[in-house]
Amino acid sequence: MSEAVTGHSIFSIEITDPSDVVSARSKAREIAAGLGLGSADQTRLATAISEITRNVIQYAGPGGGVCRLFDESDNEWIRIRIEVEDWGIGITDVVAALRDGYSTGGGLGAGLPGARRLMDQFDIQSHPGCTKVEMSMIRRRHHG
Amino acid sequence: MRIPILRLGNILLTSIQVDLTDEDVMLFQNDVVNEVSRTEAMGLAIDITALEIVDSFMARVINDTANMARLLGAEVVVCGIQPTVAMTLVEMGRGLLGAQSTFNLEQGLIVLRQRIVQRADLWAFDDDERSRDRPFNF
Ligand SMILES: Nc1ncnc2c1ncn2[C@@H]1O[C@H](COP(=O)(O)OP(=O)(O)OP(=O)(O)O)[C@@H](O)[C@H]1O
Ligand SMILES: [Mg+2]
């Protein structure tokens, strides 16, 4: 894994308890505001994080996971990258999991596809023992 | 964390002021449905003006709560959905919030009162009909 392009980590939280989902999303919103994202984007980002971290609580088992935020912004772009990693059973069929309505947990199956639509980049790597969702929001800075 | 439920005549009013965990959201649903049943409220207003983040889970529970209260016999409105929340929910996929909404609590109460009055009118209209063969003991 290349560390050169990961930007610097600005926040990290363990996801083991339902209250961590609340902490992660509210902190993400605060950070997004601090980095200059508008209120609609703050809400989009926080909502996407809420969906992905809830999945950790629901599916990853007692080991839980971790949610990390990275600031990869430069002069021209605001770029926030999120990593949510867990060490649970993994997603059996990632392609299916990204479809609207697919759920093995009796949910709406709206979480992953919804989060993907809210973000600009979205990627899932999963096998038994490790699931990693990486997603970014990228906005051009308004100068002046 | 319990959300207070206020009673205004035949209307129940509840306002979510803080970000809730999933468990608290379920507790809220349970409390609201039980209170509607216990008080036989004719209207229920759920105010979410203060919520800045409503994800698919919370949206579903609010929807379900509205449907449950309606099933019991109450008119329901969801009040004060923030514009950023509306954008996010619609962008995420098929309308995740489906309950009837109003801009704010004040409008919500007006809508509820109108609907309750309409219903009372209907009842007065077919009162004879109803008294002839009631399926239940109202
Ligand atoms: N971290 C994870 N570990 C294992 N499986 C997962 C994980 N995240 C998602 N999944 C699988 O992907 C499916 C789809 O997830 P998604 O969040 O889209 O829907 P859901 O959680 O089932 O329902 P909703 O999020 O709408 O309440 C899940 O039902 C589950 O099978
Ligand atoms: Mg989910």
Does residue A89 surpass a pLDDT of 90? yes
Specify if A95 maps to a domain: yes
Report chain B's mean pLDDT, rounded to a whole number. 90
Task: Suggest the residue from B23, B26, B53 to mutate for an interface test with chain A (most A CBs closer than 10 A).
Answer: B53
ipTM of the complex: 0.91
Q: Find the CATH number of the domain harbouring B112.
A: 3.30.750.24
**pTM of the full structure:** 0.91
Centre a 10 Å sphere on the Cβ of residue B111 and count the other Cβ atoms it contains: 19
pLDDT digits over B42-61, tens only? 999 999 999 999 999 999 99
Does residue B126 surpass a pLDDT of 70? no
- DSSP label of B9: T
Q: What is the mean pLDDT of residues A39-65?
A: 97
User: SS3 letters for B78-99?
Assistant: EECCCHHHHHHHHHHCCCCCCC
Integer CA distances (angstroms), A60 to A49, B10, B47, in order: 16, 45, 33
Ligand 1, atom 30, residue with closest C-alpha: A104
pLDDT digits over B69-94, tens only? 999 999 999 999 999 999 999 999 86
Specify if A24 maps to a domain: yes
pLDDT the model gives residue A137: 98
Range of the domain at B47: 5-133
Q: What is the mean pLDDT of residues A69-74?
A: 96
Total count of domains within chain B: 1
Specify if B138 maps to a domain: no
Which residues in chain A (33-62) have CB-CB distances under 8 A to chain B?
A: 39-40, 42-44, 46-47, 50-51, 54, 57
Longest CA span, chain A: 49
CA B66, CA B63: separation in Å to the nearest integer? 5
HSE-up (13 A, CA, CB side) for residue A84:
30
Range of the domain at A102: 10-140
pLDDT digits over B6-44, tens only? 999 999 999 999 999 999 999 999 999 999 999 999 999
Specify if A1 maps to a domain: no
Specify if B94 maps to a domain: yes
